[in-house]
Structure 1
Amino acid sequence: MNALIPPAVAAATLCMQPIGPAPSAADAWRAARTFAQRGEIDDPAALRSQRIYVFSGAKDTVVSTRVVDQTARFYTLAQVPAANLQYRASPDAGHAFITNRPEDNACGANASPYIDNCGFEQAHDIVRWIYGTPDKPLNPPAAQAGGTLLAFDQRAYDPRRAASLGDTGYAYVPADCERVTCAVHVVFHGCVQNVATVGERMIRGVGYNEIADTNRLIVLYPQVEKSAVNPAGCWDFWGYTSANPLNPDFYRRDAPQMAAVMRMVQRLGAARQ
């Protein structure tokens, strides 16, 4: 990131629709290694064993495909095997989460609630890619979600109110997960996609719950609130939760949002109270 440009300005320009070159994957990779050496993040070598899904729509007018190309390049530099990295580029999609549901925006739209019907269920693709293998594919999704969508108080996970969380978060718990151990999948909503803005469209209407039902996955939907420094209700990618926004540290494992969401995940894995 250009050191002469304030992080908030860079986030809304260079990191989304750059006029010149896109942000550099090589620079990001060097920064990640530096952060790890300082103990601020985990060792990025662990990325090599992860399954990564990256997506871009050619009709996206919010985040250029040139920027997303650099995201995919970052994982290549991190030595993620090609077999573990899926980069799906759609010629038709806009800036949106993708579904196959007639109530959603037409494919190619760049408008609220930023959920486009492009003829496939992206949530299912993501979950299958991350958790399934050729030898052990996931079960087909349920026709209709049959578990329980729980609302919970997020304030307990951010006692200093430093993370800019909304008061309420959500977790979808399949019926099977009332009896057996389940994995936790975290879904971070996009900008202007929190429940306060689009209602329950992202937490009920994009397909995660149906595939979670049949594959022993609890789905956590943490929520960020809008504020004067975050008017679109985005998760922090420029430093609005940092003590010094001109020297952002939102990427650290102990940063407010990172720590709060990790506490939620740990609570879901703890014994019932």
Structure 2
Amino acid sequence: MNGPSTPAGTQRATDSWALLSATVKGVGKKYSQDSCGALSVAEGRAAVLTVADGHGSAAHFRSDFGSRWAVEEFTACAEGFAREAVRVGADATGWNGLRAEARRLPQQVAHRWRERALLHDCNSPAHGARRLTAPADEPPDLAVYGSTLIGAVVTQTMLFCWQLGDGDIVLVDAEGTPHTPLSTGPDMGDETDSLCEPEPWRKMRSHWQPFTGGAPPVVLLSTDGLSKSFADHQGFLDFATGVTERAAGQGVPAVQAQLADWLERAAKYSGDDTTFVGAFAATALAETERGTAW
């Protein structure tokens, strides 16, 4: 049996991963539409990370539910996948099976999310009595629950990540160089793919990366409220590498203690809800510490 999950910001002596997470609401907002999760599973040998950004406009007035369900359903599906990834490890004969399972995971998550949205709308129709007069064959409008989703599963031997809609995944290698494996290029404004669309899994981007040598990268996920707070993309990447350097020099718990304050300052510039999660392998932290002057 696997041991209990470890909350973000803490690490047992047997864990391979140190996790951090924080989310803050946008300036002037009543509450945040973002959700996040950071979980250590398989006795600390894997980490499951996820962030979701509810759309938050008047047309998406229940998107705080949608983002929370996105995180919960991704985590539920990804936990079992992470355990299997740990079991397969560096055995290349099992990689094809893992990749096939990774391709199925977005559809599983989307179906589970849709079931929760349908149940909630059935019990509490978003559009009141008008829903009761809708044609029987008309699908319910789930736009009110619309949310993006970014998720990752990382072990000592491989990384899988998935993304629907905006937000960012940054990998910081042992040399301190950031990479954005699922970057889509220039910001397209407020338009984004969403779980509320028909068959959203078809639009979900994915990335798989085995670690054939050296330490796993630091894995950082964030909603777009963070990247939008910087004047340019390089400023955002500098923030990611700075967090990694501080984690190496001061320890992940110290960074966790300061993270919400950093995000609060960022939110003042973007005006948006801002969420950030990360996973740091013990070996990656050691390598980064040796490679920096912090």
Query: Which one has a larger percent helix, Structure 1 or Structure 2?
Result: 2
Higher relative contact order (CA 8 A, sep 6+): 2
**Fold shared, TM-score > 0.5 on shorter chain:** no
* Normalised TM-score (structure 2): 0.29
| TM-score (normalised: structure 1) | 0.30
